[in-house]
Amino acid sequence: MDYAYGPGKNHLFVPGPVNIPEPVIRAMNRNNEDYRSPAVPALTKTLLEDVKKIFKTTSGTPFMIPTTGTGAWESALTNTLSPGDRTVSFLIGQFSLLWIDQQQRLKFNVDVIESDWGQGANLDILASKLAADTAHTIKAVCIVHNETATGVTNNLAQVRKILDHYGHPALFLVDGVSSICALDFRMDEWGIDVALTGSQKALSLPTGMGIVCASPKALEASKTAKSVRVFFDWNDYLKYYKLGSYWPYTPSIQLLYGLRAALDLIFLEGLDNVIERHSRLGKATRLAVEAWGLKNCTQKEEWFSDTVTAVVVPPYIDSSEIVRRGWKRYNLSLGLGLNKVAGKVFRIGHLGNLNEVMSISQNLYECNIILLLLNLNILLHQLQLLGCLAGVEMILKDVGYPVKLGSGVGAACAFLQNNVPMIPSRI
């Protein structure tokens, strides 16, 4: 029973946590077991190899830590840096702000490059700072790939290009919490030293696992980093990796089995296909917003996010009322505006598993007709989004915005009808 019951299923369109696929829920529906038995290390070994694929790395070393994205941030910082080290970090929204706050509280010397909320990282200023830093006092460049507060995606390839242009040895640390497994992410190709994500985003798992991946350069830096760390110490993990038992403390058994099921679904669909699906959903959502006569918080197309859209409302509307009305009347969960954009924007999350088809396809899964289930998912991802957009239109009417009902849904439908691919197994 839900804590606050509403008929039907809640339509979850916040940018994380996201809907959990039925196969993942079923995989986690199991008792505890001894993590020192042969079974859990064998499972862990396959997971460590397979999570490298979502980062697109062959040389990185992953750590699956029972924590949130905030803990993954701390792991990335404390294992590679020492108190007093100079970092460059970009303030472009609430989550980049929180990471900067963490860096400051960990006693790093943070050089903040601030942009208006709705803009991406100012890479021209980064270039000027690197050019001036001939003594190489900057030890790390820290950037949030996808800022969910404003729906802004940063250009990581360009950051690497700038670092290489100036021959700067600074570590490249990336928060990929709301991008990895949904947006194009290439750890090796872009020379990222530490990348991290959280289980509750595009992996479509419950909150509780922070996955960090470290390059050989980052592992080398960890040998001399003086920051205090205990729970997040990579060295403890590496010691147990060598022993073949993998865990320095008790993992979440249920999340490990859930991760196995989640990765299987992603690889079955194909990671590149997953990324393309998110691209379609992002474009359809932006077309709907445009048809409603509203503006995207993101100020340039080059920064548009394919996992979340932040919608700016007119001054006479409190965006928080849109979120409240959606939950109270339509059982639709949308994202609040945060901090500087509180009351000014609401957010539509379109990442991870978006459909409710699993409830009618349970027997198919039980019969192991997984490919058919997957193909149904690909189609219903689009249809589930349209249900969200229809709900938003009704909410906009409720709060006094003169939206033409069906305008955004129609714009999204027209795009999706021309761009949704054929179901592979039915061609």
Binding residues: 347
Residue 64's beta-bridge partner residues? 211
How far is the C-alpha of 235 from the C-alpha of 61, rounded, in Å?
12
**Kind of pairing between the strands at 210-214 and 61-65:** antiparallel
CB 75 within 8 A of CB 233: no
Q: How far is CA 365 from the centre of its chain?
A: 27
Burial 402-411 (b: 16+ CB within 10 A, else e): ebeeebbbbb
How far is the C-alpha of 22 from the C-alpha of 419, rounded, in Å?
26
CB 272 within 8 A of CB 247: no
Helices 319-330 and 370-398, interaxial angle, to 10°? Answer: 120
Structure tokens at 353: 């598993």
Query: Residue 336 carries which DSSP code?
Result: P
CB 294 within 8 A of CB 312: yes
How far is the C-alpha of 238 from the C-alpha of 233, rounded, in Å?
9
Q: How many residues are present in the chain?
A: 427
CB 386 within 8 A of CB 412: yes
* Rg of the Cα atoms in the chain: 22
Question: What end-to-end distance do the CA atoms of the chain give, in Å?
Answer: 41
**Kind of pairing between the strands at 146-147 and 152-153:** antiparallel
Contacts of 107 (CB under 8 A, 6+ apart): 83, 84
Residue with tokens 């077991």: 33
Structure tokens at 217: 């350069």
169 three-class SS: coil
Positions at the binding site for substrate: 347
